[in-house]
Structures are given as structure tokens and as C-alpha cells.
Chains A and B, each alone.
Chain A
């Protein structure tokens, strides 16, 4: 059964801190790994990773994939209160190719 596990499940930090969110996966026919930020209802796309070792960066956020060890990390530097959200990791693959299997999410709370 395809599985994605995120850690930690929740994290509380202060503004300016750096955080690292973890995602490990076991997915047949793995194609890519995606990170989403969910504040209200709709998850919003952050990154899609397909190749090992190549960091993707967007402002204070960055992410990298290790296809040998089957994990990815999402880093957020100089956190702000607006970063408070649930961060979801999803692995694409499975028997139907396009199916995304999601982790349970990491709840990040950034205090002023």
C-alpha cells in the first residue's frame, strides 16, 4: 500500500526561526513529490520535485528530494506569522500513475 509519512505532526516556533519539515514515502511507480500549503480549504501548490539532489527554491522556502532514501524536506527560513498553516506532502505514482498519496500534514504555528 502506498504510504507517505510526515514529521513532525505539529511545530510551534517564533518569528525568525528556521524550520525543517520532513516527508518520507513508499509509493509504487514513483513519479514526483509535491508540497502544498493549506491555510483554509484549498491546498496551494509550493513545489514539485522529480530529481534527487536538486534544490527548488521560492523566496524563503526551499525543498529537496532524495530518491535513494525516499524522503524530502521543506525548509522555511526567517519564518513569519503568515507561514502558519498545514504543510502537506504528496507522492505521485501508484498503479494509475497520476494518483497522489498525501501525508497527514505538519501543522506549523509561528508566533510573533
Chain B
């Protein structure tokens, strides 16, 4: 597609339920990122996939959070047993890959999650 596509754009869920957020990166991009942005806050790194390398999961806040990337393309971020503090915009980004300084990273529109 032309840009990074995320779905759903908005999700309201009850506390304790599981949610899945999907990201379709730009075609051909080997690097994929998930970030979280709470209201009025900066972007918090969650996880980074690069090609076939093991993902950097160092930003996942708890074991309720997991992400996978199938076939080097689409990624799903799963939050189990959601809590109210999980409410945030979840942003996905992709980039063509590495290189000396890295490449430009392009963001999707985000998935706004509200846990009630």
C-alpha cells in the first residue's frame, strides 16, 4: 500500500478483555516498529522487528503484551487482560531497513485503544 496501514483505528474494550491491533507496513519495508503514546506524552518504544532477526522486545511493558510479524510483513500486537492504563494510541511504523544512519521511518495513523 501507499503508507503504513493500521486497524482498527479506534477500539473500546472492557477491562480484562484481550485485544489485537494490526499493522500493514509499506510494501518492501523490512523494519517494523510499535510505539505507544499516552495522552500528552511522548512516544514509548514497544518492539522492533528487522528482517529475520530476533525482535527487540525490550520496550514491552509487561508479559500481557506480545507481538508477532508473519512472513516479514503484517504485524499483530496483542494485549491480554487489558487494564485501564493500557489506554493509548498504538502507533506502528516501518522503514526500508538499515544503512549507515538508518532510513526514514514512516508512521501509520495509529490505533486508539480505550479500556473501560
Q: Enumerate chain A interface residues (CB-CB to B < 8 A).
A: 31-32, 34, 36, 40-45, 48, 50, 88, 90, 92, 94-105
Contacts and interface: CB of A to CB of B under 8 A. Distances in A.
Contacts of A40: 109
A98 B101 contact: no
Interface of B: 31, 33, 35, 41-45, 48, 50, 56, 58-59, 89, 91, 95, 98, 100-102, 104-110, 112
A6 to B, nearest CB: 8
A103 B33 CA distance: 17
A43 B45 contact: no
Interface centre among B43, B58, B104 (most CB of A within 10 A): B43
B7 to A, nearest CB: 13
Contact of B102 (A32, A43, A45): A32
A101 B43 CA distance: 8
Contact of B42 (A44, A88, A92): A88
Contacts of B41: 104
Contacts of B110: 41-42
Contacts of A99: 33, 45, 48, 56, 58-59
Nearest to B4: A42
A41 B44 CA distance: 14
16 contacts: A40-B109, A42-B91, A42-B107, A42-B109, A45-B106, A50-B101, A96-B48, A96-B50, A97-B98, A98-B33, A99-B48, A100-B33, A101-B45, A102-B44, A102-B45, A104-B42
Nearest to A102: B43
B13 to A, nearest CB: 19
A102 B42 contact: yes
* Interchain residue pairs A-B with the least CB separation, the first 4: A96-B56, A50-B101, A32-B101, A102-B43
Contacts of A98: 31, 33, 48, 50, 56, 95, 98, 102
A95 B91 CA distance: 21
A41 B42 contact: no
Nearest to A32: B101
Contacts of A104: 41-42
A106 to B, nearest CB: 10
